[in-house]
Amino acid sequence: MRVRSSVFACFILIFEVLGVALFLRGFFPVPVKSSFSSKSRLSDLPAEPLAGSPPNSTRLPQPLFRRVVLMVVDALREDFVFGPSGGSHMPYTRYLVEKGSSHSFVAKARPPTVTMPRIKALTTGSIPGFIDVVMNLNSPALLEDNLIWQAKTAGKRIVFYGDDTWVRLFPKHFMEYDGTTSFFVSDYTEVDNNVTRHLDSTLKRDDWDVLVLHYLGLDHIGHISGPHSSLVRPKLLEMDDVLKKIHGSLVSKEAEGSLPYLLVLCGDHGMTETGSHGGSSEPEVNTALVLISPAFKRKAGMERPGEVEQVDLAPTLALGLGLPVPQNSVGRVIPGVLEERSMRDQLRFLHLNGHQLSCLLRDSTPDYQKEAGFEQFRVAEKAHGSWMKLYLEGNTSEVLTNMGKKVLKQYLEALAAMSSALSRQLGKYDMYSMIAGMVFVFQLLLVLLLAMPEALSSAAAVDLPVRSSLLSLPFYLLCLLLASVHVLVCTSAESSCYFCSLSWGLVFAAVAFSSAMFCILISMAMRRLPLGPTAHGKSPVRSSGGEWSLSELDVLLLAGTVGHTLSLAASSFVEEEHQTWYFLLNTLCLAVFQDVCRKYFREQKGSGDEEEHLLPSKDGHSSAHPKQEVVSEKWLALATPPFTLLCCRLLRSLNQTGVQWAHLPDVSHWLNSAEHKTVLSLLSALCLLLIYLLVQRRCSLVSKVALALGLLGVYSYRAAVGNVLFPWQRSGRAASKGTVEARFVYVFVLGILFSGTKDLLRSQIVTADAKLKSRGLWEIYGGLVLLVSLLFRAHNLPVLCCGLLIQTLMAQFIWKKLHYDAAQTTIMHYWFGQAFFYFQGNSNNIGTVDISVGFVGLESYIEAPAIFLTALSTYAGPLLWACHLVCYLSSERERSPVTVGHGCYCLALLRSVPAAAYVVLVTVLRYHLFIWSVFSPKLLYESMHLLLTAGVCLVFITMEQSPGSSKS
């Protein structure tokens, strides 16, 4: 079967996406869950241990607290409260921490340090799987056993104000609630006022038991201007005032004889030095946790707060309110909270917590009896029983106290051991699905590699021996073998496995596909074999020289691709991947510069007629071109690489990304500060103007007008949102959502895209006019640019503008004039695309994805457009460069009709090599310390990029259609 290169590449990419999806399903472990889907109930609680006689009673100790106020301050980093400046930022809190009856801790949040998984951790006590981050955009109701459900079931009345993630997670759980959306990040006053305005009336009333407040303002300030901005101090003072108000009201309501109150101040996660979060660095993970209650001892002075896990809060609150501990909680009760109670109660509380942990351990581990913690718990339970016997006998001696302390210690050790064993469980992988996915991806990659000589030949078509493979005996044998392996694995594995749970039809299709691929692979390899070593050598020969066919540029392109793939094995290189790309891009520009110099200076050295011959002007027209133009063209060509270098240097200082140097001040911070608003306005106006000038050249008149209006709309959208200023506008105007302006732009985007598509269709079907076709393509490109300029933050507009400028110059003076072939051009486009991905401020950390983009022009959260817009703006760099590649290559078709096919093939190869290598790397490094914080986010980025590239390749196919008709 003979298929064109582009179709072949696209086919391979689509199946690779499927393979990677299977791998991902196996890779992201399902969080530790109890096998029972029910929730803990009071009646299930174990009896109090008693040695000798049958368990006496299911007596529960009196709850510790009557009412609880949980005040969550989003991104409350530990040093905001406990740090050296804590005294001036939060004076009242600090007073309580130092002198009041309180306990303070540094609570360690687990990565991903993103709000929704953290709320889940706070309420369920479980450690949510990493995949929860992906679901963060669309949080469905929490079905797992959790504190809020338990409280509601026990008849507690809960009031909630704050981040509406809670409302979505716990629908119908709250007696009274008011949710504020967290997506308009630029707003940091209104979100908090919306919470505080309810406080006075609520605190006066007596009809609630649990009050939950979630303040978002601090997090938003962090996202806007970082933890050291001048906005942080007033915000923390405001939070301090709120805490003072609540505390004062609770103290005044305190009645003699009834149970005390508990006031909890905590953060869901911290923030980095740039104000973002999501990863696992110390400042992101360390949050403040302050528990205030008259039930605690008064403090004498400031002491260094102890460390606890964030999940420990859930069992503590549950036991404190007299509720069962949520079933999947892996936390352990904070011992300091209990220490004022009688020894009997303390032991009972620890026993309840231990029992819950041991049940969870039993449900989630097959050989739970070997766990040290489980054994310790059994021993402690026995000791507890004998202590109870002595206690009930009325013994009050010193011996009893000492024995009680010993049992307490045993319990605490057992809890710690069980908790850590459960946390370890999280690293369980579904290896079978992972390996199956990996095998798919690798087969496809090998087929892609083996087809290289054919795909890059002048015919640009690949001969796939499908029929002969399907009819051969090995194919059936292999099918049989793989099917039996599948049955064997699935019947023997104890743990659940996704690939086994698939329906038989799907599995059989996968098996048949895999064996067919294997047969094709073998027969293609056999075909290559006699050809010997000439089969390798990726870039086609350019120079006339025989054995040394690779130029320095080719060596660089190959070494860069391979080197980048290898560098992904080191966590630092993944974190700092932008450095790799900037470095490679710089070297590429220098290499191109050297090529340009060689071309033009060799001419200068050579004789006059040689110069005429080498210059790009066709011999027939050479007299028509004045000498002047040729000279200026030469200097422009010479200036292009240095100009590109300069642009890249400027762009790289626009957004600091990565981890190690992310805290350094960058230009975008400077631009976004309030006093430089005028500069930002001027800059974005200039950029929009330049974008217009660069894009309009090849558009039709209608599209030109639409583009101009659209770009004006972009500016007024930015002005409405409050990023930039109109000259006549006072800076104090209230910011709106800018929905009208954004929709105005969307209309023009759709208009331009429509007109481009119409041109394309007409050129394909009616006239076969190459000019019309390239105009149509360019208009689609222009529509994309307009959309991206709407989505990009104002300070990122220079990235877009520089990208367009570099594309124009390079296409004009470098790629065409130096006769780079399709493969080289594609690799360069890909490198530029990668570098621009990081120029716009992205990184391999989930935290840098700008989700607020999903709300441009929308009144509320709608899933499909939000995800589409977020993906588009995140991958704007690579996408625009790939689109430019399509435009450029199809305009080059007159020179060589197969360029589009070659380009598509190279793009597919460039994308699949790192993706396939990364899948293997992640499998090998699955027990690496940084697997969750560094490698898995990168895996998600890689798979998303693979998916997008498959989409771009589909566009390539449509461009390559009807190859005969458009030859002019």
Minimum gap (Å) between residue 679 Cβ and other proteins: 19
Please report the sign of the dihedral spanned by the C-alpha atoms of residue 907, residue 909, residue 915, residue 917: negative
Residue 386 binding: pick among other proteins, Zn ion, none (C-beta 5-8 Å cut-off by kind): none
Applying the rule CB under 5 A, the residues between 318 and 337 that interact with Zn ion are none
DSSP 749-766: HHHHHHHHHHHHHIIIII
Minimum gap (Å) between residue 839 Cβ and Zn ion: 23
Minimum gap (Å) between residue 743 Cβ and Zn ion: 27
Interface residue with other proteins, options 193, 369, 468, 660 (CB under 8 A):
660
Applying the rule CB under 8 A, the residues between 630 and 649 that interact with other proteins are 645-646, 648-649
Applying the rule CB under 5 A, the residues between 69 and 88 that interact with Zn ion are 74
Instruction: Provide Rg for the chain, Cα atoms.
Output: 33
Which one, of 158, 232, 4, lies nearest residue 908 by Cα?
Answer: 4
Element containing residue 98 per DSSP (H, E): helix 91-99
Residue 170 vs 582, nearer CB to other proteins: 582
Residue 645 binding: pick among other proteins, Zn ion, none (C-beta 5-8 Å cut-off by kind): other proteins
Residue 74 binding: pick among other proteins, Zn ion, none (C-beta 5-8 Å cut-off by kind): Zn ion
Minimum gap (Å) between residue 119 Cβ and Zn ion: 8
Minimum gap (Å) between residue 643 Cβ and other proteins: 11
Under 8 Å between Cβ of 266 and 278: no
Under 8 Å between Cβ of 875 and 307: no
Residue 738 vs 847, nearer CB to Zn ion: 847
Q: Hey, what are 714's tokens?
A: 């972009």
For residue 264, CA distances in Å to 182, 290, 513 come to 22, 6, 57
Element containing residue 309 per DSSP (H, E): strand 306-309
Residue 681 binding: pick among other proteins, Zn ion, none (C-beta 5-8 Å cut-off by kind): none
The site for Zn ion, by CB under 5 A, has a size of 4
Residue 416 vs 570, nearer CB to other proteins: 570
Strands 286-292 and 102-108: antiparallel
Residue 893 binding: pick among other proteins, Zn ion, none (C-beta 5-8 Å cut-off by kind): none
Show the site string, 555-594: x = touches other proteins by CB under 8 A, - = not.
---------------xxxx-xx--x--xx--xx--x----
Show the site string, 207-246: x = touches Zn ion by CB under 5 A, - = not.
------------x---------------------------
CB within 8 Å of 318: residues ≥ 6 apart: 125, 147, 150, 324, 325, 326, 329
Minimum gap (Å) between residue 623 Cβ and other proteins: 30
CA atoms in the 13 A half-sphere facing the CB of 219? 28
C-beta atoms surrounding 215 within 10 Å: 27
Residue 152 vs 269, nearer CB to Zn ion: 269
Which one, of 551, 552, 533, 531, lies nearest residue 541 by Cα?
Answer: 551
Residue 660 binding: pick among other proteins, Zn ion, none (C-beta 5-8 Å cut-off by kind): other proteins
Which one, of 849, 857, 840, lies nearest residue 787 by Cα?
Answer: 857
CA distance 466 to 451: 14
Under 8 Å between Cβ of 932 and 27: no
Which one, of 101, 66, 317, lies nearest residue 206 by Cα?
Answer: 66
Which one, of 173, 179, 163, lies nearest residue 141 by Cα?
Answer: 173
CA distance 28 to 22: 11
Show the site string, 246-275: x = touches Zn ion by CB under 5 A, - = not.
----------------------x-------
Residue 500 vs 645, nearer CB to other proteins: 645
Residue located via tokens 């210059």? 615
Helix (H, G, I), strand (E, B) or coil at 25: helix
Residue 579 binding: pick among Zn ion, other proteins, none (C-beta 5-8 Å cut-off by kind): other proteins
Residue 282 vs 339, nearer CB to other proteins: 282
Under 8 Å between Cβ of 649 and 798: no
Residue 268 binding: pick among Zn ion, other proteins, none (C-beta 5-8 Å cut-off by kind): Zn ion
The site for other proteins, by CB under 8 A, has a size of 24
**Amino acid letter at 522?**
I
Residue 602 binding: pick among Zn ion, other proteins, none (C-beta 5-8 Å cut-off by kind): other proteins
C-beta atoms surrounding 653 within 10 Å: 12
* 3 beta partners: 462
Interface residue with other proteins, options 298, 467, 605, 895 (CB under 8 A):
605
Piece of the chain touching other proteins by CB under 8 A; list 81-89, 424-432, 652-660, 675-683: 652-660
Minimum gap (Å) between residue 208 Cβ and Zn ion: 24
Residue 377 vs 593, nearer CB to other proteins: 593
Residue 590 binding: pick among Zn ion, other proteins, none (C-beta 5-8 Å cut-off by kind): other proteins
Cα Dmax for the chain:
117
CA distance 315 to 334: 8
Minimum gap (Å) between residue 601 Cβ and other proteins: 6
Q: Is residue 598 within the footprint of other proteins (CB under 8 A)?
A: yes
Q: Is residue 280 within the footprint of other proteins (CB under 8 A)?
A: no
Q: Hey, what are 1's tokens?
A: 């079967």
Q: Is residue 850 within the footprint of Zn ion (CB under 5 A)?
A: no
Residue 454 binding: pick among Zn ion, other proteins, none (C-beta 5-8 Å cut-off by kind): none
Minimum gap (Å) between residue 540 Cβ and other proteins: 18
Element containing residue 292 per DSSP (H, E): strand 286-292
Residue 74 vs 312, nearer CB to Zn ion: 74
Helix (H, G, I), strand (E, B) or coil at 385: helix
* 290 beta partners: 104, 265
Which one, of 601, 495, 556, lies nearest residue 824 by Cα?
Answer: 556
Residue 848 vs 873, nearer CB to other proteins: 848
Which residues lie near Zn ion (CB under 5 A)?
Answer: 74, 115, 219, 268
Which residues lie near other proteins (CB under 8 A)?
Answer: 570-573, 575-576, 579, 582-583, 586-587, 590, 597-598, 601-602, 605, 645-646, 648-649, 652, 658, 660
